[in-house]
Amino acid sequence: MVGSNRPGLDPEWSRTIFVKSTSAVDAPGTERRWHLLDNAAQLSRRGLAARGTLLCVHGNPTWSYLWRTLLAAGSDPAHPWRVVAVDQLDMGYSERTGTFRRLEDRINDLGDLTDALDLQGPVVTVGHDWGGVVSLGWALAHPQHLVGVVLTNTAVHQPSGSRIPPALQLALHPAVHRWGTTTSDAFLRVTHALASPPLAPEVRRAYMAPYRGAARRAGVGNFVADIPVDASHPSFPTLNGVAEGVRGLKVPALMLWGPRDPIFSDRYLKDLIDRLPHAEVHRFEGAGHLVAEDRDIATPLFEWLAMQGGHPGGDFPTTEAAPTDRQLANEQAESEPEGFRALWELLTEQAAGPSADETAITEMAPEGTPARSLSWKQLERNILDLAAGLRETGVRSGSRVSLMVPPGVDLTVALYACLRLGAVVVVADAGLGTKGLSRAVKGATPDFLIGIDKALAAARVLGWPGRRISVRDLPPAVGRFLGVETSLAALARSGAELDPGRPMPSVDPTAPAAVLFTSGSTGPAKGVLYTHQQLGAMRDTVAKTFGIGPGSRLVAGFAPFALLGPALGAVSVTPAMDVTAPRTLTARSLADAAAAIDATVVFASPAALRNVLATRDGLDGAGHRALERVAVLLSAGAPVPEPLLAEVQRLLPRASLHTPYGMTEALPVTDISLEEIQAADAEATAGSVAGAGNGVCVGRAVHGARIAVVPLAADGTAPGPHPVTEAGVTGEILVSAAHVKEAYDRLWATQRESSSLPGWHRTGDVGHFDAAGRLWVEGRLAHVVTAPGAVVTPVGPEQAIERLDGIRLAAIAGVGLAGTQAIVAVVETVPPARKAGPADRQLAARVRSAALEAGVKVSAVLVVPALPTDIRHNAKIDRTRLSRWASRVLAGGRQGEP
């Protein structure tokens, strides 16, 4: 029995059982002593009926202690489950058998144990590391009991053309193997060091305890030696049998993954997804190999169990997988009236109509002249030629294709060619930064990567997955160095030689079409999955809300709209700028682009508009005239201050200025014009409309959308189940629309949280309605400050502070424990402060006074040379980062910059 000196382990769970072995490596009649953790007695003592059994199998070199959080959660009366966590033979506190037990023996051993326990269904297997394979082997051998499988960082197949991970290569090397795994405890220590954050000393000691002394580590070495590195290995047939057998599992499946794993990386997750396509997947960004230590896996696991319908007496599905979120969405879509129009249909119509030979798309050269243009007919032909070439090279429906190409002709052609094939385009722009971009690409695990030279070089250095295709033809030596198979140009040429009448495959409206990554301004960038139907709905919403369609001419200074232009049937141009850095758009480059197509619509982010205004002195008469012809300007990505819009209005005097509110998950959600903003602000100042003020007015819902809020509680959360639209009630903003995302890609728990209110997407923003039905955004839910007796949202007081002379930007942050937080104002001044730190007495007094007028008492005022903003928009302030920095400064620590 295991004592009580193991953190998180209840001694009542520990038990020993003797089991008759049927393994071929044991003599007939041999009994083996097993140690396991089992909460059955505890459940019985508490009078709780288990809903089923979790059979948990650890890997190498851990033991059943790995699953202690599941044992604790399963003992909770709210969701009682029996949890049986085994110590495999020669591991943990089970018997040291003195035999070499291979994978086949371990699967057989586990069957012997469950027979001895008389373990009946419903059983859900849970496995980690090589315990994942063992658990799946048991699952395949016991279909009569199996109702689900859960996997954490494991593998069942070595992808072709790749070697086993370097760490395992080293552990298997004859010069290292015995010393590293058995003679010394190096293998254990290295494994424990993979935890992120590091294991507490007492937890590390608990993991080491069963393996003190070389004699107790023989199983560790044997487990490593039994890794099937190739088809000649004795355990390869068993592993291959499990790998192929998994494809036939129809029970619900859940994968909880730590992507920072040098052993079982995302490529193994991709393989498992291919074998269990119905599985729900959640990648815990920042977690590693010991994901059960790095993150709370018990909460999502038990939420998933609850979704499957298991309860005492049970209707837990035993033969067919429970419907996934996507399947439910598909069923809903199938019940909706017909009328789906694919994203490219207007483009195709333009290519076949009277405008066929007119310009469809243009990209600008740095010197301000058109660098390349295509007519509608040429654009359609290029798309079809490339699609044919891509199909010949292996791109299929469902293939993931990462597009690392700047907005312009090449990206447009590649994107629509992939969509026509039913491939899933993965779009993560360089604005995420090297680390963020790499994390996004690896997480999406594309099958193909299409990129410019710079992206291909990064792919080689950073190990991005996917077969590589260059945009342009490369010299053979360069292509080989970068691992490039072919180019878009070559594929288009080969596609043009194929049968021109060959039809494109039909596309399922409910099938995945794109994974678009968020800006990463509120944590690691998330992949947002859209179906073809949702992309089409986004196009229709934009067209109906802003009147953009055939005949419109669009300057797209914002990447999503650069891709949406052809879908709208609008002529589009990409200005000479780095669209991943909005503030690189100058007045001259905007005017040149507008002049090139006689633009009627401009889309640019607030940061881009600021730089346009800062560089307007560079405009000549022709430039002014080009901008004066613009009829509509759209700006989104961050709140747009009214004074900024008023200045822009003078530059584009005939344009109707709109600031749609939206997000990667739903673009757009609301719309408002400059005149409406000015009217709302005047009503807020006068107090003539209840609820007006304390935030940024973003207007009313766009065509086809509904919005509501879930009221905030005293602790700053939004737990209520009932959406409201009453004026003056602050809460988390909800949106419901046909163009809202399908799901967060491989983030099952995040998706579950965002859709916890059926039919609504929880945006993570907070705001309220006024009596006129307009929505006012007050900030992010994560940035709400919980001061003593008050819940403070940041945008209102920030606006009051920014109205002061000499203040460019302001941010409100909370310091201290929730419920007792001090409110800190951090300001960026004009001119900028030389260094970060406490504000001088006079400035602090002015800031406090302005905030107090907005109803907020500020405890401290700090200045910074520049507030930290996200890379993509150059506008969203990272208040969480500011809060950490302010805490350090106010505690007397090193100041530096946030």
Per DSSP, the residues of 824-888 read EEEEEESSPPSS-EEPPHHHHHHHHHHHHHTT---SEEEEESS--B-TTTS--B-HHHHHHHHHH
DSSP assignment string, 139-197: HHH-TTTEEEEEEES--S-PPTT-PPPHHHHHHHSTTTHHIIIIISSHHHHHHHTT-SS
H-helix or E-strand containing 354? none
> For 48-63, b where at least 16 C-beta lie within 10 A, e where not — what string?
bebbbbbbbbbbbbbb
* CA-wise closest residue to 688 among 771, 582, 801, 768: 771
Average pLDDT, 10 consecutive residues per value, the chain (898 residues): 80 97 95 98 96 97 98 96 98 97 97 97 96 98 97 88 75 82 94 95 97 96 91 93 96 97 93 96 96 98 87 42 41 51 96 96 91 96 96 96 94 96 92 87 96 95 95 96 97 89 87 90 85 96 95 86 89 88 90 96 91 94 96 87 91 96 94 96 93 93 96 91 94 97 96 94 96 95 92 93 92 92 94 91 96 93 85 62 88 73
Cα–Cα distance measured from residue 142 to residue 152, given in angstroms and rounded to the nearest whole number: 20
Q: Tell me the C-alpha distance between 82 and 76, whole Å.
A: 10
- Helix (H/G/I), strand (E/B), else coil: 418: helix
Q: What is the pLDDT at residue 107?
A: 98
Asked if 767 and 730 count as a contact pair (C-beta separation under 8 A), the reply is yes
**Domain 547-659 has what CATH class?**
alpha beta
CA–CA dist 684, 695 (Å, integer): 10
Question: Could you tell me how many residues make up the chain?
Answer: 898
Are 386 and 352 spatial neighbours (Cβ–Cβ below 8 Å)?
no
Q: Is 177 exposed, middle or buried (0-12, 13-18, 19+ CB in 10 A)?
A: middle
Report the pLDDT value the prediction gives residue 321, as an integer from 0 to 100.
40
**Residue range(s) in the chain whose domain bears CATH number 3.30.300.30:** 785-890
Residue 328 is predicted with a pLDDT of 40
- HEC assignment per residue over 706-741: EEEEEECCCCCCCCCCCCECCECCCEEEEEECCCCC
Q: Which CATH number fits domain 670-739+758-778: 1.10.260, 4.10.830, 2.60.40, 2.30.38?
A: 2.30.38
Instruction: Specify the DSSP class assigned to residue 86.
Output: E
Q: Which two tokens stand for residue 52?
A: 């089923």
The CATH number of the structural domain formed by 785-890 is 3.30.300.30
In the chain, which segments carry CATH 3.40.50.980? 547-659
- Beta strands at 400-404 and 448-451: parallel, antiparallel or unpaired: parallel
Residues 532 and 342: beta-carbon distance below 8 Å: yes
- pLDDT score for 417: 97
Cis-peptide, bond into residue 668, ω within 30° of zero: yes
> Please, are residues 596 and 446 in contact by the beta-carbon 8 Å criterion?
no
d(CA 427, CA 425): 6
Distance of alpha carbon 154 from alpha carbon 229, whole angstroms? 15
Helix (H, G, I), strand (E, B) or coil at 781: helix
DSSP 434-481: HHHHHHHHHHH--SEEEE-HHHHHHHHHHT--SEEEESS---HHHHHH
Other CB atoms within 10 Å distance of the CB of residue 10 = 16
Q: Which residue ranges does the chain devote to CATH 2.30.38? A: 670-739+758-778
Residue 82's nearest CA partner among 113, 56, 50, 116 is 50
Q: Return d(Cα 478, Cα 679) in angstroms, integer.
A: 59
| In contact, 70 and 56? CB cutoff 8 Å | yes
Tokens of 645: 């819009």
The SS3 of residue 333 is helix
In 3D space, the residue among 231, 160, 147, 220 whose CA is nearest the CA of residue 189 turns out to be 220
Tokens found for residue 201: 């000393």
CB 79 within 8 A of CB 51: yes
pLDDT of residue 327: 43
Whole-angstrom distance, CA of residue 870 vs CA of residue 379: 34
| DSSP-assigned states of every residue in 503-517 | PPPP--TTSEEEEEE
- Using a CB cutoff of 8 Å and minimum separation of 24, what contacts does 28-31 make? none
Task: Please identify, in words, the CATH class of the domain defined by 11-307.
Answer: alpha beta
The answer to whether 409 and 850 have CB atoms below 8 angstroms apart is no
Nearest to 879 by CA among 891, 892, 896, 862: 862
Q: In the chain, where does the domain assigned CATH 3.40.50.1820 lie?
A: 11-307
Encoded tokens for 19:
């089991």
Distance in angstroms (rounded) separating the CA atoms of residues 256 and 780:
27
Tell me the sheet residues that pair with 359: 375
Is this model's pTM higher than 0.85 or not? yes
Q: How far apart are alpha carbons 421 and 396 in whole angstroms?
A: 6
User: In which residue are the tokens 């994390």 written?
Assistant: 439
